[in-house]
Amino acid sequence: MAIVRRREFLAAAGGALTCMVGRSLPAWAQGRIKVSELDVLAVIDVQNCFVPGGTLPVPEGDKIIPLINAMAPAFQNVVLTQDWHTPGHISFASSHPGKKPFESVTLPYGTQVLWPDHCIQGTADAEIHRDLKIPHAALIIRKGHRRHVDSYSAFLEADRGTRTGLTGYLQERGIRRVFLVGLATDFCVAWSALDARRAGFEAYVIEDAEDLWDAFRKYDDVAARAVAQPKILTPRDLS
């Protein structure tokens, strides 16, 4: 096992993140993780919007799709999420005269980053990418569909009080571990992983990119300090 290539492994230690580079890996990471019927794969926002050619593209975001297709059959339980905004959504810069995309405003629930119009309900931009092939996915959680509140997390909307219903669904099915993959790592995947931990699930993020390290450090001060951090895996860690 090449430890240097697994620098994405993070562990919680006294509320702080530790990067497992050049160190002995903890017990949970000594071997490949066995997927069972108590696990769910949460595929986050793999939509036309977030790949090249979309309204809010993640660079090379489409390259993650074959990876997801390859790992999904290992999971008996799969859920998808879908950003699903109304026209004139409060998170759109176009809804705030004089504001530009990626500026911010203060809303009743806190600071809101403003985005280009994206993932508008019923448009091709909001559709699940056609190359994502997971026919056994049992649930699609649509988030951000309330006009006056944004949502990054698959579990809680941006007001941190409105629930999507995913927690109850997973609890009813006896799920214990949530494996997350999708777009974009530093927003919706990261927030979903942290909220999975808050809800009492073990959380694993499957990601080869190194930007997740920065994402969790960014959220540590405002959100993550009270919960154990999600564990970061590469696809090679699953069996």
Contacts of 40 (CB under 8 A, 6+ apart): 75, 77, 78, 79, 170, 173, 175, 177, 178, 179
Q: Lowest mean pLDDT: which of 5-19, 51-65, 191-205? A: 5-19
Q: For this structure, is 62 an active site residue?
A: no
Please provide residue 4's backbone torsions phi and psi, each rounded to the nearest 5 degrees: -60, -35
In this prediction, residue 239 carries a pLDDT of: 60
10 Å CB burial of residue 169 (0-12, 13-18, 19+) is: middle
Task: Tell me the per-residue pLDDT of 102-111, one tens digit each, with 9 for 90 and over.
Answer: 999 999 999 9
Q: Please give the residue that has the higher pLDDT: either 234 or 64.
A: 64
* 190: pLDDT strictly greater than 90: no
Active-site residue (options: 49, 125, 188, 237) = 188
In this prediction, residue 211 carries a pLDDT of: 45
Q: For this structure, is 39 an active site residue?
A: no
Query: pLDDT tier at 135 (50, 70, 90 boundaries)?
Result: very high
Where do the domains of the chain lie? 37-206
* 10: pLDDT strictly greater than 80: no
* 173: pLDDT strictly greater than 80: yes
* 214: pLDDT strictly greater than 90: no
SS3 (DSSP) at 182: strand
Give the residue among 67, 59, 9 at the shortest CA–CA distance from 43: 67
Give the residue-averaged pLDDT of 144-148. Answer: 94
Using DSSP bridges, classify how beta strands 39-44 and 110-113 pair: parallel, antiparallel or unpaired.
unpaired
First-last CA distance in the chain: 14
In this prediction, residue 234 carries a pLDDT of: 62
Task: Tell me the per-residue pLDDT of 60-102, one tens digit each, with 9 for 90 and over.
Answer: 899 989 989 988 998 999 999 999 999 999 999 999 999 999 9
* 208: pLDDT strictly greater than 90: no
Percent of the chain with pLDDT over 70: 73
Query: pLDDT tier at 55 (50, 70, 90 boundaries)?
Result: very high
* 131: pLDDT strictly greater than 90: yes
* 209: pLDDT strictly greater than 60: no
* C-alpha dist (Å) from residue 106 to 102, 116, 145, 213, 215: 13, 17, 20, 27, 22
* 18: pLDDT strictly greater than 80: no
Q: Lowest mean pLDDT: which of 31-35, 182-186, 203-207? A: 31-35
Q: For this structure, is 208 an active site residue?
A: no
Q: Please give the residue that has the higher pLDDT: either 213 or 171.
A: 171
Task: Tell me the per-residue pLDDT of 20-33, one tens digit each, with 9 for 90 and over.
Answer: 222 233 333 445 67
* C-alpha dist (Å) from residue 71 to 33, 44, 115, 239: 13, 14, 31, 9
Active-site residue (options: 39, 45, 62, 117) = 45
Query: Can you tell me the distance from the alpha carbon of 152 to that of 162, in angstroms, rounded to the nearest whole number?
Result: 12
Q: Please give the residue that has the higher pLDDT: either 37 or 67.
A: 37
Active-site residue (options: 39, 117, 143, 195) = 143
The CATH class that applies to domain 37-206 reads: alpha beta
